[in-house]
């Protein structure tokens, strides 16, 4: 009993310490205890047939804190907490010739298994799959029920199962954590007597700045994938540049994107989710397109602006489908079905069936319904005599019908292949004064332009972001440049 208490306390301490180096004193006391146990069993119970914790140590005992002797017990190398003598519940045979049993048996370590809940999973099923025996799994479920209804477990939830494992013994389940959201989690720990206790705890998130540079080989999408850039950040980038850049035509191999963004991390410094893009530079076609996040004082909305203080968000989006591939541009082309050359008055974006289509700008739905070769079709009227057309939809979003007011970025329908179409894609047109124009070259009015005091504040914020990026990416040339810009104001970045 005393031994189990000790073990449990040591475990709790190990949990609290996380990656820190452990308490030497505890370690020595545990060692002493373990040695006594081992010697006792060695003298009285050999050969073994029932559960035995430790083999008798050989004549040359190397203590486990000898550096690098066993990677499992090396705290610095593995990042694991102190070795803890585990209760081994499996009968094992001692081979007389086996050398150095400590290396195998003393190498106890904490292991965390991360399980993502799949469709049809139940908590009991997951626990059983992770090797937790039936009775233990039942106790876990009962304990969790005091703070969380296991039936509420959803596909995509993440469970972290903690085990203590040691040598040949099967890992012993110690508790779990269930992330309920970015800010909340359920914690379950094993008590001294073997019972489980659960509680709800809030995850405290800290913000960290992160930077990434990606060079295009094929597409921006692929370039981002080869780095650590989270998907969320890539989407923000695509959205920010979608007003000015035709990703299919403008982006060339060798183009480069630099991004500074925020990420939210938990108490262990582990990534939880991506935050906002603060700054980005896209080097493409000899152009350098920069965006900076800035919160305007009058409405407290944070938006991305270009280097001149103009909101990157324009009246019309160039790409009304996220992550789509431009499969056909504007202009003359050989028609894929009709076979002869025909003017293509829009852009075709190939995307998987059912991908949401966004309203390219604020406006009023003028038409929503089937329309000949266009298939399911939506037309929106925007200010300044602009109209946008969306064709070949599989279906319309709820409430989309004639006369309805829509906001830019709102889902209006879903990718399909209705009408004259060879596969799932969106046919997108922009019309000005009733005539089709090339969406890639249309210059619609900017969303917002900063001036006066607000522009001054923006220019300062812009320099701060450049300095922050340069210091993170250790770009001395840029840092010197940015600091030069700051020298007059005497303000350091936040
Ligand atoms: Zn088309």
> What pTM was computed for the model?
0.47
Q: Which residue has the tokens 């582990």?
A: 270
CA–CA separation, 50 vs 235, rounded Å? 58
> Before 47, cis peptide (omega within 30)?
yes
Note down pLDDT in tens along the chain; length 494 residues: 444 444 445 444 544 444 344 344 544 555 455 444 444 443 333 333 333 333 333 333 333 333 333 333 333 333 343 343 333 333 322 333 233 233 333 456 778 888 888 888 889 999 999 889 999 999 999 999 999 888 888 888 888 898 887 666 778 898 998 888 777 889 898 877 788 999 888 877 889 999 999 998 887 778 888 888 888 888 788 878 877 787 767 788 899 999 999 998 877 788 888 899 999 999 988 889 999 999 988 877 788 999 999 888 777 887 788 766 677 777 777 666 666 677 788 889 888 898 889 999 889 999 999 999 999 999 999 887 899 999 999 999 999 999 999 988 888 999 999 999 889 999 999 998 899 988 767 766 667 789 999 999 999 999 999 999 999 887 666 666 655 655 544 333 33
For residues 184 and 203, the answer to whether their CB atoms sit within 8 Å is yes
Q: Select 108-203's CATH number: 3.10.450.350, 1.10.760.10, 3.40.50.10240, 3.40.50.300.
A: 3.10.450.350
CA–CA separation, 469 vs 485, rounded Å? 14
Greatest extent of the chain over all pairs of C-alpha atoms, in Å: 97
Domain with CATH 2.70.70.10 in the chain: 325-437
* Beta strand 411-414 pairing with 356-358: antiparallel
Paired strand residues for 178: 159, 186
Task: Give the DSSP H or E segment for 30.
Answer: helix 24-44
CA–CA separation, 147 vs 152, rounded Å? 11
Q: What CATH number does the domain located at 209-305 have?
A: 3.10.450.350
Measure 367 CA to ligand 1 centroid, in angstroms: 18
Q: Select 325-437's CATH number: 1.10.760.10, 2.60.40.10, 3.40.50.970, 2.70.70.10.
A: 2.70.70.10
Measure 391 CA to ligand 1 centroid, in angstroms: 8
Measure 342 CA to ligand 1 centroid, in angstroms: 11
Measure 407 CA to ligand 1 centroid, in angstroms: 24
Paired strand residues for 199: 187
Measure 411 CA to ligand 1 centroid, in angstroms: 20
Paired strand residues for 289: 282
Measure 5 CA to ligand 1 centroid, in angstroms: 72
Domain with CATH 3.10.450.350 in the chain: 108-203, 209-305
What would the two tokens of residue 101 be? Answer: 């049993």
* Beta strand 386-393 pairing with 425-432: antiparallel
CA distances from 448 to 71, 305, 310, 311, 460 (A): 58, 9, 6, 5, 18
Q: Which residue has the tokens 């300044």?
A: 384
Q: Which of 143, 150, 176, 151 is nearest to 162 (CA)?
A: 176
Measure 336 CA to ligand 1 centroid, in angstroms: 10
Q: Which residue has the tokens 């809030």?
A: 202
């Amino acid at each position: 009993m005393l031994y189990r208490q000790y073990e449990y306390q040591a475990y709790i301490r190990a949990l609290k310490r996380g990656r820190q180096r452990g308490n030497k004193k505890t370690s020595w006391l545990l060692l002493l205890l373990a040695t006594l146990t081992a010697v006792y069993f060695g003298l009285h119970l050999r050969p073994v047939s029932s559960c035995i914790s430790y083999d008798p140590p050989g004549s040359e005992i190397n203590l486990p804190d000898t550096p690098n002797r066993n990677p499992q017990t090396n705290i610095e190398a593995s990042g694991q907490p102190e070795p803890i003598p585990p209760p081994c519940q499996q009968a094992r045979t001692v081979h007389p010739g086996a050398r150095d049993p400590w290396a195998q048996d003393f190498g106890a370590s904490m292991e965390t298994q991360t399980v993502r809940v799949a469709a049809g999973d139940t908590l009991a099923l997951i626990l059983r799959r992770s090797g937790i025996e039936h009775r233990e799994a039942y106790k876990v479920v009962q304990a969790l029920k005091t703070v969380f209804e296991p039936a509420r477990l959803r596909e995509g939830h993440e469970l972290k199962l903690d085990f203590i494992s040691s040598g040949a013994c099967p890992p012993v389940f110690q508790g779990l954590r269930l992330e309920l959201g970015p800010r909340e989690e359920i914690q379950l720990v094993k008590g001294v007597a073997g019972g489980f206790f659960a509680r709800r705890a809030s995850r405290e998130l800290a913000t960290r700045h992160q930077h990434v540079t990606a060079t295009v080989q094929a597409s921006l999408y692929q370039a981002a994938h080869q780095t650590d850039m989270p998907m969320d950040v890539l989407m923000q980038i695509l959205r920010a540049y979608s007003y000015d850049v035709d990703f299919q035509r403008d982006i060339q191999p060798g183009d480069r994107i630099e991004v500074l963004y925020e990420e939210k991390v938990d108490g262990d410094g582990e990534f939880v989710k991506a935050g906002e893009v603060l700054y980005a530079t896209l080097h493409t076609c000899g152009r350098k397109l920069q965006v900076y996040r800035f919160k305007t004082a009058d409405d407290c909305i944070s938006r991305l602006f270009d280097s001149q203080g103009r909101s990157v968000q324009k009246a019309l989006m160039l790409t009304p489908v996220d992550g789509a591939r431009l499969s056909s541009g504007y202009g003359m082309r050989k028609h894929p079905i009709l076979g002869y050359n025909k003017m293509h008055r829009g852009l075709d974006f190939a995307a998987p069936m059912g991908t949401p289509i966004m309203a390219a700008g604020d406006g009023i739905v003028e038409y929503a319904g089937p329309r000949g070769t266009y298939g399911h079709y939506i037309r929106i009227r925007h200010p300044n005599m602009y109209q946008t057309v969306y064709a070949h939809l599989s279906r319309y979003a709820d409430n989309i019908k004639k006369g309805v007011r829509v906001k830019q970025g709102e889902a209006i329908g879903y990718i399909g292949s209705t009408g004259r179409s060879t596969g799932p894609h969106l046919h997108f047109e922009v019309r000005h004064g009733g005539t089709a124009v090339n969406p890639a070259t249309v210059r619609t009015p900017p969303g917002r332009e900063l001036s006066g005091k607000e522009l001054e504040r923006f220019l300062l914020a812009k320099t701060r972001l450049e300095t922050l990026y340069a210091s993170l990416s250790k770009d001395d040339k840029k840092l010197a440049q940015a600091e030069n810009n700051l020298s007059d104001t005497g303000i350091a970045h936040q």
